[in-house]
Amino acid sequence: MEEGMTQPPTYSLGHSEKELNRLRVQAGFIGPITRRFFVEAGIAPGMRVLDIGSGAGDVAFLTAELVGPQGEVVGTDRSSTALATARERASALSLSNVAFFEGDPAEMTFERPFDAIAGRYVLMFQADPTAMLRDLLPHLKPGGVVVFHEPYRGGLRSYPPVAEFDRAWELTDETFRRSGADTHMGIKLHKTFVDAGLPAPAMRMECVIAGGANSSDQIHFEMDAAESLAPEMQRLGIDTSGDGDFATLHDRVLAEATRTDSVIVGRADVGAWSRLAG
């Protein structure tokens, strides 16, 4: 755990309808990044894939496109609320190659092993990501692929500085840390894979970045998370009394970034993948 964590890890963003909507917007923004990681990792037509921490289903649906109608995606999550949304969306999309199950995938049993195990923004919320990954490996076929997409939030900034943007992402990081999440999980994937008994992974990093009036989506990417976390900040005793209304934070930051022609540097997204010995 990072220093400053004061309780066991929790999914501090919750699963409200507003948060599930935020995740869908986020998925549209970072989906192409995940797709590139998964394709390079070797997710391909006909594969059977175990999706860890499915949430509202975005990663499962992306993976289902990659494996095609002859493949299969089994999504797992501990939240019945999120999975209800995922099942509704799968039905609306007429996806016959995706199924969702509630529970801890490390403790679940499946009828047959998988060609790949995949997840996005999952290991960062685990008390012991190495142990979780190690416990998942028995679900994988010999020669199977493990691929995870996790954030590295060590490079967030604005230049010229936009004070409210920098303050908001600092509040977000502090909330994550106090809730037990690891905001640097992305660059820890190498050690996590190796310590779990996997070969050293291949790794890639992409960063969300834009400037001035063109940075609205990039600002939403960070500021919407801060808004979702506002109740958790209050619960944890983080002082936001001087930070204004989080509901209008995006508009205030965009106005200042436009005025100063500031560059907004969002979190980095890191992909890592490895294969079991055949």
β pairing state of 114-120 and 202-211: unpaired
**Residue 10 covered by a domain:** no
Residue 256 pLDDT: 98
pLDDT at 2 over 60: no
**Residue 26 covered by a domain:** yes
pLDDT at 150 over 60: yes
pLDDT at 234 over 90: yes
**Residue 5 covered by a domain:** no
Tell me the pTM: 0.88
Sign of the torsion angle spanned by Cα atoms 225, 226, 231, 234: positive
pLDDT tens-digit series, residues 204-223: 999 989 999 999 988 988 89
Match 């990072």 to its residue by tokens: 2
What distance in Å separates the CA atoms of residue 206 and residue 192, rounded to the nearest whole number?
20
Residue 54 pLDDT: 94
Region 183-199: what's the mean pLDDT? 97
Residue 228 pLDDT: 86
CB distance 239 to 174 below 8 Å: no
Match 């001087």 to its residue by tokens: 242
Pick from 105, 239, 237, 106: which is nearest to 179 by CA? 237
Residue 9 pLDDT: 46
Residue 3 pLDDT: 29
Give me the CATH number covering residue 137.
3.40.50.150
H-helix or E-strand spanning residue 229 = helix 216-236
Residue 25 pLDDT: 64
pLDDT tens-digit series, residues 8-58: 344 444 445 666 566 666 667 789 999 999 999 999 999 999 999 998 899
**What is the band of 237 on the pLDDT scale with cuts at 50, 70, 90?**
very high
pLDDT tens-digit series, residues 98-112: 999 999 999 999 999
β pairing state of 263-275 and 140-152: antiparallel
**Residue 148 covered by a domain:** yes
* Number of domains composing the chain: 1
**Residue 117 covered by a domain:** yes
Mean of pLDDT over the chain: 90
pLDDT tens-digit series, residues 89-101: 999 999 999 999 9
pLDDT at 141 over 90: yes
What distance in Å separates the CA atoms of residue 106 and residue 133, rounded to the nearest whole number?
8
Domain enclosing residue 111, as ranges: 17-275
DSSP for the chain reads --TT--SS---TT---HHHHHHHHHHHHHHHHHHHHHHHHHT--TT-EEEEES-TTSHHHHHHHHHH-TTSEEEEEES-HHHHHHHHHHHHHTT-SSEEEEES-GGG---SS-EEEEEEES-GGG-S-HHHHHHHHGGGEEEEEEEEEEEEE-TT-EEES--HHHHHHHHHHHHHHHHHT--TTGGGGHHHHHHHTTPPPPEEEEEEEEEEGGGGHHHHHHHHHHHHHHHHHHHHHT---TTS--GGGHHHHHHHHHHHHTPEEEEEEEEEEEEE---
Residue 277 pLDDT: 87
Residue 18 pLDDT: 62
Bigger pLDDT: 4 vs 273:
273
**Residue 263 covered by a domain:** yes
End-to-end CA distance of the chain: 33
Residue 185 pLDDT: 98
Residue 20 pLDDT: 59
pLDDT at 138 over 60: yes
